[in-house]
Amino acid sequence: MTDTSSLDVRFYPIETNKRAKGNTYTVRWKVAHKKHSKTYKKSAVADDERSKLMSAHRKREPFDIETGRPVSWTSKAAEVNWYDFAVEYVDWKWPRASGNTRKNMAKALTHATIALLRTPPPKHFEPVMVRRALREYAFNVNRRTDPENPVPAEVQTILAWVQRNALPMSAWEKTETVDKVVTALGTLLGGTAAAASSVTRNDRIMNLVMGYAIRHNYLKANPLPKGKGERTAPKVAQAIDKRCVLNRDLVAQMLDWIGRRPRRGHLYRAFFATLYYAGLRPEEAVALRVGDATLPETGWGEFLVHEAQPEVGSQWTDTGDVHEERDLKGRGEGDTRMVPIHPSLVALLREIIKEYDLKPADLLFPGEKGGMLAGSVFRRVWAKAREEILDEHEFKSPTGKRVYDLRHTCLTTWLNNGIPPAQVAEWAGNSVPVLLAIYARCIVGQLDDYLKRIEDVQALPKVAA
């Protein structure tokens, strides 16, 4: 019998808790110096659980001091600590995960791991270094196992301390531990509340982690709260904020300012115009090749969109590239979609192809050194244009704050001018339900027509006197 288990067990009578919505029943007992309790909705269930515990005690089975349950009942939870389990999960998940999934997984596990330490890290470990050691080494297979670039000594020291001080997996059986982790997942590492979308993403990731723990016998059940009664998660708004959509005059002024920048202004103008006129996602636009565009001398052209290159960071991709080659979002492997090219955009694209002497296999919007156009570059250009063109009130508002808002502006324009949602969804690469949920607040200008349609048909006939 180890010092984590004991034969010294004492049981107390079942307590009845009177509640307006129905009584609950609490089983209480003590193992060595530590008290334990569990509450049930039915007295028979509570009595049965207490009887099982007492039966194990009569058989002289040792009880785990931390969990309060017979050692024979436990899974591998008491034998493995959280840190070792989390690293095992990352190693299992990594080969099948995209770069963004890997990055988000590492962030969520970092939050959870800091919450699952026996004591806070010592003062000589800077908090930012502890987080970096976990996020960028412990939970990054590429960096942790790279023989050519060994893990730095200071990082090894931090991770060794974390491994020694991580709680066992059995800690998940304690409500206070689960509450602490849930709080951490909803809080930024600086202490402020996380965005609703981040909380939702962390919850989704941790539920997948718990599923792995159950399948591999580390836990018997998912301890994370479920349902409205156990946790009030922040709501994530699907619909976009109408204020982020740009009007035509502002877009024209910003593209004109960008186009007059020295050296690569024409190329950046064409890139942003592609988002505005064709509604592409930025990661789709940067992946376009010249041969993907049909550009007649006059009239409408057409894009064949078949690839996306999201920017995830070189440490999260298998190739070491900043961008990761992916299939189109929400579509099957190798799927494509056709998107019309406005005549004005056709002219801009023909101009840059000629100016930069681009060949069919070349990127349509090459970076300065010929590679993929970096997100940090085009975001900086857009931010400068926004600061230069927008007045103070508009600049402080959400108007065009993200490059992605050009896509929002395009799709909103299509919907507001009578293009059927099914056609817009096809061009945009969305499903119709998602499209309508996102842009419902931005569809305007059709209310009068709708009211006229129902005015007569809903009018009640006069009743004869």
Instruction: Please give the full DSSP string across 262-309, using - where no structure is assigned.
Output: TTTHHHHHHHHHHHHHH---HHHHTT-BGGGEE--SSS-EEEEE--B-
CA distance 388 to 377: 17
Residues in a beta bridge with 37: 28
Which amino acid type is present at position 401?
K
Mean model confidence pLDDT for the chain = 86
pLDDT at 320: 75
pLDDT at 198: 83
pLDDT at 50: 93
Check: CB of residue 42 under 8 Å from CB of residue 25. yes
pLDDT at 130: 93
pLDDT at 228: 47
Fill in the DSSP letter of residue 60: T
Structure tokens at 60: 């002289």
| Full DSSP string of 77-121 | GGTSBHHHHHHHHHHHHGGG--HHHHHHHHHHHHHHHHHTBSSPP
pLDDT at 70: 87
Report residues of the chain scoring pLDDT below 50: 228-230
Give the sheet arrangement for strand 337-341, strand by strand: 293-294, 301-305, 337-341
